[in-house]
């Protein structure tokens, strides 16, 4: 069930002082919402744990269960449930607010290191659903728990997966996480970008709200770059990074999705591969891609902040 290394290709070379320092291999794919492959590097059948890139999908039941309305969750709440926050004072206050609204406290959290864990927002959302549905909360992270089974069903529906397509493991935050082909990750994000064409009204409405919340509250809430600042304020992208070299994106309203898995788990290639790939399929202009590169690509610097190397795309 691990990454199929024979389907990976060189994606990015990092140079330092004029010579190769690291070489990152992986696989990436762009698909439309009907499942047609538009661009690929390596094998779209390459499998990986979707990790935190699943969070916007895992948040869907927070809305469809009625928990968001019952506990008056704000867009900022929805964003931090869907995101990977930084664990700072503002994020801790936000998660505590969600817990308080649904009648829980920090002692109920099973999120890795606790409330400062970057997944505590997701866990607070899980607890909110459990309170709303009157599920037991003592073992809400158990893969056989009713809410975790509901999350799995939503993930399969969004990403076009059958039972045999998914391997369920344990994420770093202790919650279940799912291993499947990156082609299906891209398909899920493509479908979410035109949700009304694929899902019932309640699910489509939930996806629209999640997308809006993540666009309005990036950075500390979602852990995602504020791409709208480069794209003239437009909410054109739904993006989410996952652990160990996974990144997913959907082009809002365009029915196109992207996913990448870096074989060695490095984050360095994620935004470079993402932004250049979207430029190649016409979702970003040359100037927009250049703006993202300038603002959000990693910089190869020494500890004094001085440039000492470059990122070279190999695809």
Q: Convert the pLDDT of each residue in 26-81 to its tens digit.
A: 999 999 999 999 999 999 999 999 999 999 999 999 999 999 999 999 999 999 99
Residue 274 sits in a domain whose CATH number is 3.40.710
Supply the range of the domain harboring residue 34: 5-313
Q: Which of 107, 12, 10 is nearest to 313 (CA)?
A: 12
Q: Tens digits of per-residue pLDDT, 261-304?
A: 999 999 999 999 999 999 999 999 999 999 999 999 999 999 99
Q: Tens digits of per-residue pLDDT, 86-104?
A: 899 999 999 999 999 999 9
Question: What element of type H or E holds 179?
Answer: strand 176-181
Q: CB–CB of 10/301 below 8 Å?
A: no
The radius of gyration of the chain's CA atoms, rounded to the nearest angstrom, is 19
Interatomic CA distance for residues 12 and 274, integer angstroms: 12
pTM of model > 0.85: yes
Interatomic CA distance for residues 202 and 200, integer angstroms: 6
Give the total number of structural domains in the chain: 1
Q: How far is CA 310 from CA 8, 253, 303, in A?
A: 22, 34, 15
Q: Which of 183, 182, 214, 211 is nearest to 196 (CA)?
A: 211
């Amino acid at each position: 069930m691990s990454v199929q290394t024979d389907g990976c290709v060189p994606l990015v070379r990092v140079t330092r002082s004029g010579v190769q320092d690291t070489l990152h291999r992986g696989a990436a794919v762009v698909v439309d919402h009907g499942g047609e492959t538009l661009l690929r590097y390596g094998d779209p059948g390459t499998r990986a744990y979707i990790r935190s890139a699943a969070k916007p999908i895992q948040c869907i039941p927070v809305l469809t269960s009625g928990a968001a309305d019952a506990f008056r969750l704000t867009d900022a709440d929805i964003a931090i449930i869907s995101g990977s926050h930084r664990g700072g004072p503002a994020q801790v206050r936000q998660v505590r607010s969600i817990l308080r609204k649904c009648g829980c406290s920090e002692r109920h959290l099973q999120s890795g290191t606790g409330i400062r864990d970057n997944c505590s927002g997701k866990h607070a959302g899980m607890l909110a659903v459990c309170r709303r549905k009157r599920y037991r909360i003592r073992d809400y992270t158990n893969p056989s728990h009713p809410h975790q089974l509901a999350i799995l069903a939503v993930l399969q529906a969004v990403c076009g997966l059958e039972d045999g397509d998914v391997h369920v493991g344990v994420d770093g935050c202790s919650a279940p996480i799912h291993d499947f082909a990156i082609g299906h990750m891209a398909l899920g994000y493509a479908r979410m970008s035109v949700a009304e064409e694929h899902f019932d009204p309640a699910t489509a409405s939930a996806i629209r709200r999640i997308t809006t919340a993540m666009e309005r509250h990036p950075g500390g809430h979602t852990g995602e770059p504020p791409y709208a600042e480069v794209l003239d304020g437009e909410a054109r992208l739904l993006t989410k990074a996952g652990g160990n070299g996974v990144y997913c994106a959907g082009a809002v309203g365009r029915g196109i999705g992207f996913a990448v898995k870096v074989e060695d788990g490095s984050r360095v290639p994620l935004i470079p591969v993402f932004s250049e790939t979207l430029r190649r399929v016409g979702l970003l202009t040359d100037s927009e891609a250049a703006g993202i590169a300038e603002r959000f690509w990693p910089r190869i610097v020494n500890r004094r902040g001085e440039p000492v190397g470059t990122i070279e795309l190999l695809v």
